[in-house]
Amino acid sequence: MRAAFAAVALGAAGLLLAGAARAEDAPPAPLPPVPPPEAPAAPAAPAAPAEAPAAAPEVRLETDRIESPDGWVVWFYTVNFVDPKVLRVELDQWKTKDAKIEPLALPYEPLITAGENAHKVQPANLLRIRERKENLPLLRKMIEMLDQPQPQVLVKAKLVEITYSSGLEWGFEAVYTAPGNTFFRGTSAVFNPESYLSATAARPFQGSTLNFAFIGQTAENYGSLDEAVRMLKSKGKAEILGEPNILATQGVKAIINAGEDVPIQTAFVTGNAVNTSITFRKTGISLEITPELIGRDAVRMRLKENVTAVSGFVTGQGGVQNPVFNDRTAETTLTVRDGATLVVGGLQSTRSIERESGIPVLMDIPVLGWFFSTKSREEVQTELYFIATPEIIRGSWAEGLLAPPGEKERLERLRK
């Protein structure tokens, strides 16, 4: 047994010695590669936060509106032509139940009053509309239909007044002295025409004066007679033509005046002095219209035309010449077709005034009675017409300024 164990041991030793000899004879084994230096470790990522809640719904912002995902839209609309309050009343009939429409007010700059800040608030032409998104197109359509420029009309008025006048005046002054020594010594008479009586040094009598007298043997036999006969004849034609034109908006009164102020002197006595005061009165032509309804082819409007002019003068206290005024007025409500000419009113009048005075009996002698009387005759014939022609202004706001017919062409010619 021992001999077998020894033999196994000796065989193992021989194997070890043989392997060592082979290892010494073989080339050395290569070294394993050196691994590259490890990169520095990245900093540890922070711990992930707890899960965030869901993001709020997005709100869309536009230039004139704010839209939220819940279906509500706030829209700011600038009103162009109509009253925002009137437009709001109409839109209230078409909005949804919870919608809200209100006009905005803008404050002026603050005013310092009694140490306190005060603001004046002026209604702005801005509407704030809060409405459901699906109903907003309906409100937009209503606004397009309602926020339109008011219709306008150009009224061409014409005033024609023609006055024909004619007058004749005569009068006399006479002094008679009887011949010899008789009981009747003579007489005198003064019957001058009104134009002569109203004449002044600044405005002398504008007429003819004829002088008669008995001289020589005739004066010795029949007495002396000195007489002056004054005569004046006048004839005239006055024509007043006015053509005021004015552009008016439906429902709004429009007025145009053209004339001048005429001074009126008034004399009054203060103690021993005569003083005068001056007031003024307007004369000329005025036109006032209010279009009540402007349709497609016709216009209903209230119209008032007036002309005031000086027709003469009268002598007042202290010899002051005061003017006499003539007023002509036509006022009516009418409906007229677009472009049609209508005579609004007319007046034809004839005035005849005749006055005569003189020496009794003598003034009634045919022909010779003219030398012993004064007579004035005045005839005035007046024709007056008020004429109106309305023209509806057509076109859209997008075309620019709503100019009267022919006005654009005139402006273009002036620019050239």
pLDDT beyond 50 at 382: yes
Least confident of 118-132, 315-329, 401-415: 401-415
What is residue 319's predicted lDDT score, i.e. its pLDDT? 67
For the residues 306-311, what does the mean pLDDT come to?
Answer: 83
In this prediction, residue 91 has a pLDDT band, given cuts at 50, 70 and 90, of: very high
Query: What is the pTM (predicted TM-score) of this model?
Result: 0.53
- pLDDT of 205 reads 76
Residue 131, pLDDT score: 92
Grade residue 318 by pLDDT with cuts at 50, 70 and 90: low
How far apart, in whole angstroms, are the C-alpha atoms of residue 106 and residue 390? 40
Phi, psi angles (nearest 5°) of residue 205: -65, 130
Which secondary-structure segment (H or E) carries 415? helix 407-415
Task: Lowest mean pLDDT of 11-15, 176-180, 227-231, 327-331, name the range.
Answer: 11-15
Least confident of 77-91, 244-258, 314-328: 314-328
Between the CA of residue 397 and those of 179, 403, 411, what are the distances in Å? 97, 11, 19
Least confident window among 3-7, 285-289, 388-392: 3-7
Who has greater pLDDT, 8 or 201?
Answer: 201
End-to-end CA distance of the chain: 146
Please determine, for residue 412, whether its predicted confidence score (pLDDT) is greater than 80. no
> Which residues are within 8 A (CB) of 142 and not within 5 positions of it... i.e. 6 or more apart?
90, 91, 94
Average pLDDT over the chain reads: 74
Distance CA 111, CA 324 (A): 53
For the stretch 181-209, pLDDT in tens is: 777 777 777 877 777 777 777 777 777 78
Residue 393 has pLDDT above 50, yes or no: yes
Question: Tens digits of per-residue pLDDT, 218-252?
Answer: 777 777 878 787 777 778 877 767 888 888 888 88
Better-predicted residue by pLDDT, 216 or 330: 330
Residue 7 in this model has a pLDDT that exceeds 70 = no
Q: How far is residue 323's CA from residue 312's CA, in Å, rounded to a whole number? A: 6
